[in-house]
Each structure stands twice: as structure tokens, then as C-alpha cells.
């Protein structure tokens, strides 16, 4: 059960805090100064017309660390000041009855579905700003505080290159370090889509053979290569001595069998079986050959219910089409890579979902739009289609390694 504070003023505007056990909501009230139409428009669904109140911001941790506040229906300017002006924090602490000293903590990423620009930073001092664009979302007027969602952010692709000795930069994961967010619209919030909530992890194993004579030859080759470091004379000695030692260790093989086998290798025919009636034991074994990359497929149906939502759907479709397209720069002789994407599942309240898998940085490999998914051409008065279906296939840029999964963590891992 939440506890509502007494009214207090900040810059001539009246507020209260509504506190539960671990969080508090900063609520703008009409007492003392009426809510302006601009405030209501900025707040969107965070404006409660019945109470004539706006849920301005969320205090995620009552220890009041450096990034204690998350944006709800407040303006970007108000959030920037609330996070930098110490008087704001002191007023909030007094309102909720928490006057303890500041204790650093990790605040959740500013990832609420209505977020645009905020002045938040994570625990490592990195900005969580969605700089350079507007946040897109569907559905437009859903209650953002009470449902889970998929967040998709587009980033400019930056190849790692060979900047360090030996080119070691190419061996790491392509995560958000060094990525720049796409200019313009770059963040989309979408509802959970059941068929897309799955993952498939696989690695490549392949059959490989190595018979006894090949193993012996490998042993000879190893000694010959080792001797080459001392000169061709030593290499020849290694070849001769290695041949005798290696073949002497093979039991049940006579000189005729060995001769027939190598004769067949020389002429490319199965002389060994023809001459001996035998088949060499291949010692077949399944061996690890490398990792595989995962892919994630989603299908979303958009049914605009109003003019603003129809425009939002159009913007979402155009954002994905533009971000996945190759780019021409300069003399147009070369093409630059399309943008890449970060996908995250979020749980109610803006926390990363603890029971769904994480996804590494992805490329959008396929994007399909069906403008008449119901089989007939239907539009609203302004020309908007009554329904759209989009299908997307994302592919991770890097495979999943054992070190990526922490069994003791409180999440599903990659």
C-alpha cells in the first residue's frame, strides 16, 4: 500500500510522492498551480484525467544514489534539472521521509516505453540517453506501466578492425562498447509476441576419421617439421627415424598391407582393398568444428485505432527499412554496412526480464511488410491501411560462449 506525502512546491509547481516499500512516484498535482495543456500533452498516458494528475517520475531506489530518478510523464528539461539540481533530491528525500546519505547503487536503464531524452547515466558513468531521435512505440496508448515489452534500438555499425597488435580486436564480442546510436528514430518499443519468444542454441560437430597409418604418418610429419628448424639434414633424419618408429608401433600390419595402402594413395584407387580384401579401420569420431550463430524471428500485427497511431505504425516500418538498408557514402564506389540492433525483453516497471533470454547485438537480415494481411484492400479515410503485419529475422553477430552464461545469476542468461 502506497503512502502519499504532503504537498510540496518545486519551481512553482505542486507535487506529492506516493511511496511503497522500495520505490516512490513523483506526482504533479493541480494544487497551487494548474496543470498546463503542454504538460498534459508531454505526459501522454501518464496523465490521469480523472484525478487531474501526472505521474512525473519514478524514484527507483530510496537510497537516492546518483541516478535515482527515472522518467515517466515529465518533460526532458524537468528531468535534466531534477537529476542535476541537488535541491530537487533533498525535497524528494524529505517528502518520502528518507534523509539518509547518498549511497551509490545501480539504477535501472532508462528504458520505460515512453522515454525519449533523459539525463541518466549508468553505474559506469555511461549515458543512457536516446540521443538524436524520437522513441517509437506500439500500441500508442497502452498503459505502459502494466505490461512487458520488447525494446529494439538501432546502432551504427562500427567494424572493430586491426587496431591492436596481432589484430586481437577481431576476437571479441560486438557489444554496445563503441556503438553509436542511429540518428533520427532509433528506438522502438513493441508488445511481446508469443511465437518470437524462443531461442535455439547449437554448435557444429562433424565426423572425422584418422586410421592407424594416417596417425603414424602424422607422427612422422611432426618429427620432420620439428627437425626443419635445425636444417634440411635434421629434417631428413627425423623423417627416416620417425618412419621406422611410427610404423613399428602399429600392431597387426604387415609390409604388404602398408605397401598396398600407400600404393592406393599414390594412384588414387582402392588398391588396398583389391589386394588384401580388407578395409582400413577409419576410427570415425564426432569432433567439434565450431560455434553457430543464433537467429530470432518475430511477427507483429499492427491495427491502428486512431490517426496518431497510424502515423506511428508508418514511422516504425520506415525506421526498420531505413536502418537495415546498406548505405552509400562519398563517391558511391563502396557500400557501408547497415545499422545493427540491440534487442531486450523488459518486465513490468522497466526491468530487464529475469525469465527470458538475453540477445547479443544483431543484424536485421529480413524485413517483410504485408499491407493487406486480411486478404482484402481496406483503408481509413486518410489512406492508412486498417491493418499491417511485419515479419523480421534478426541474426546475432557473435556466437554464444560458455563464459557468457553465469549459472549463479538471477536471470535466464544468453
In a domain, 115, yes or no: no
- CB of 149 closer than 8 Å to CB of 189: yes
Cis peptide before 80 (omega within 30 of 0): no
How would you class 346 by CB atoms within 10 Å of its CB: exposed for 0-12, middle for 13-18, buried for 19 or more?
buried
* 53-80 per-position pLDDT tens digit: 999 998 877 777 766 788 899 998 888 8
In the numeric block, which cell numbers belong to residue 219?
A: 607422427
Answer yes or no: do 320 and 384 share one domain. Answer: yes
Pairing of β 187-191 and β 135-137: parallel
Last residue of a domain, one of 264, 283, 302: 283
In the numeric block, which cell numbers belong to residue 92?
A: 524528494
Residue ranges making up the domain that contains 23: 1-108
Answer yes or no: do 389 and 323 share one domain. Answer: yes
In a domain, 148, yes or no: yes
* Strand residue runs (E) in 157-220: 180-181, 187-191, 203-208
In a domain, 122, yes or no: no
Phi, psi dihedrals of residue 112, rounded to the nearest 5°:
-60, 150
Tell me which residue of 150, 158, 209 sits closest to 180, measured CA to CA. 158
**How long is the chain?**
414
In a domain, 113, yes or no: no
Answer yes or no: do 278 and 301 share one domain. Answer: no
Answer yes or no: do 179 and 318 share one domain. Answer: yes
In a domain, 263, yes or no: yes
pLDDT band for position 386 (cuts 50, 70, 90): very high
DSSP, collapsed to helix, strand or coil, labels residue 173 as: coil
Answer yes or no: do 389 and 324 share one domain. Answer: yes
Tell me which residue of 287, 296, 288, 285 sits closest to 201, measured CA to CA. 296
Answer yes or no: do 101 and 228 share one domain. Answer: no
Q: How many CB atoms lie within 10 A of CB 110?
A: 25
Answer yes or no: do 175 and 157 share one domain. Answer: yes
In a domain, 352, yes or no: yes
In the numeric block, which cell numbers belong to residue 29?
A: 498535482
Range in 118-132, 155-169, 180-194, 302-316 with the lowest mean pLDDT: 118-132
Pairing of β 187-191 and β 149-156: antiparallel
Spatial distance between the Cα atoms of 27 and 2, rounded to a whole number of angstroms: 13
In the chain, the percentage of residues whose pLDDT exceeds 70 is: 70
Answer yes or no: do 148 and 182 share one domain. Answer: yes
Alpha-helical runs (H) found in 11-168 = 37-43, 76-84, 86-96
Number of H helices, E strands in the chain: 8, 20
The structural domain count of the chain equals 3
* 285-319 per-position pLDDT tens digit: 999 999 999 999 999 999 998 888 999 999 999 99
Answer yes or no: do 9 and 67 share one domain. Answer: yes
Tell me which residue of 358, 361, 345, 344 sits closest to 396, measured CA to CA. 361
Kindly report the CA angle at 235 between 233 and 236, in degrees rounded to 5?
65
* 122-152 per-position pLDDT tens digit: 333 444 333 444 688 898 866 555 688 999 9
* 192-230 per-position pLDDT tens digit: 988 889 999 999 999 988 877 677 776 665 555 455 555
Answer yes or no: do 190 and 82 share one domain. Answer: no
Spatial distance between the Cα atoms of 135 and 20, rounded to a whole number of angstroms: 29
Cis peptide before 139 (omega within 30 of 0): yes
Last residue of a domain, one of 283, 314, 329: 283
In a domain, 118, yes or no: no
Answer yes or no: do 380 and 314 share one domain. Answer: yes
Answer yes or no: do 23 and 66 share one domain. Answer: yes
Q: At what angle do helices 212-228 and 232-248 cross, to 10 degrees?
A: 160
Last residue of a domain, one of 239, 263, 283: 283
Range in 41-45, 46-50, 134-138, 314-318 with the lowest mean pLDDT: 134-138
In a domain, 114, yes or no: no
Amino acid at each position: 500500500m502506497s503512502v502519499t506525502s504532503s504537498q510540496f512546491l518545486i519551481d512553482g509547481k505542486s507535487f506529492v510522492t506516493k511511496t511503497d516499500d522500495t520505490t516512490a512516484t513523483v506526482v504533479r498535482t493541480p494544487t497551487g498551480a494548474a496543470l498546463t495543456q503542454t504538460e498534459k500533452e508531454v505526459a501522454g498516458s501518464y496523465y490521469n484525467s480523472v484525478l487531474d494528475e501526472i505521474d512525473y517520475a519514478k524514484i527507483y531506489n530510496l537510497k537516492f544514489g546518483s541516478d535515482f530518478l527515472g522518467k515517466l510523464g515529465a518533460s526532458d528539461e524537468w528531468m535534466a534539472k531534477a537529476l542535476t539540481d541537488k535541491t530537487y533530491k533533498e525535497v524528494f528525500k524529505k517528502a518520502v521521509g528518507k534523509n539518509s546519505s547518498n549511497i551509490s547503487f545501480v539504477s535501472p536503464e532508462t528504458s520505460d516505453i515512453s522515454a525519449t531524452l533523459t539525463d541518466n547515466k549508468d553505474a559506469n558513468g555511461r549515458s543512457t540517453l536516446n540521443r538524436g531521435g524520437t522513441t517509437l512505440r506500439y500500441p500508442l496508448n497502452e498503459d505502459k506501466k502494466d505490461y512487458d515489452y520488447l525494446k529494439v534500438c538501432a546502432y551504427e555499425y562500427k567494424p572493430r578492425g586491426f587496431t591492436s597488435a596481432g589484430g586481437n580486436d577481431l576476437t571479441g564480442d560486438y557489444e554496445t562498447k563503441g556503438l553509436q546510436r542511429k540518428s533520427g528514430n532509433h528506438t522502438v518499443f513493441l508488445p511481446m509476441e508469443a511465437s518470437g519468444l524462443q531461442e535455439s542454441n547449437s554448435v557444429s560437430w562433424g565426423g572425422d576419421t584418422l586410421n592407424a597409418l594416417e596417425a603414424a604418418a602424422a607422427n612422422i610429419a611432426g618429427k620432420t617439421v620439428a627437425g626443419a628448424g635445425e636444417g634440411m639434414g635434421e629434417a631428413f633424419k627425423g623423417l627416416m627415424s620417425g618412419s621406422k618408429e611410427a610404423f613399428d608401433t602399429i600392431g597387426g600390419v604387415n609390409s604388404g598391407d602398408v605397401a598396398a595402402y600407400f600404393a592406393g594413395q599414390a594412384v588414387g584407387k582402392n588398391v588396398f582393398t583389391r589386394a588384401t580384401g580388407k578395409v582400413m579401420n577409419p576410427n570415425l569420431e564426432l569432433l567439434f568444428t565450431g560455434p553457430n550463430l543464433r537467429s530470432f524471428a518475430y511477427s507483429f500485427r499492427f491495427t491502428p485505432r486512431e490517426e496518431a497511431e497510424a502515423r506511428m505504425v508508418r514511422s516504425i516500418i520506415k525506421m526498420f527499412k531505413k536502418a537495415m538498408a546498406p548505405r552509400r557514402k562519398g563517391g558511391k564506389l563502396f557500400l557501408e554496412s547497415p545499422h545493427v540492433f540491440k534487442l531486450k525483453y523488459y518486465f513490468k516497471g522497466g526491468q530487464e526480464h529475469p525469465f527470458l533470454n538475453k540477445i547479443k547485438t544483431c543484424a536485421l537480415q529480413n524485413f517483410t511488410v504485408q499491407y493487406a494481411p486480411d486478404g482484402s484492400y481496406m483503408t481509413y479515410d486518410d489512406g492508412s491501411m486498417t491493418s499491417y503485419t511485419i515479419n523480421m529475422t534478426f541474426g546475432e553477430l557473435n556466437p554464444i560462449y560458455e563464459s557468457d552464461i553465469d549459472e549463479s545469476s538471477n536471470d535466464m542468461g544468453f
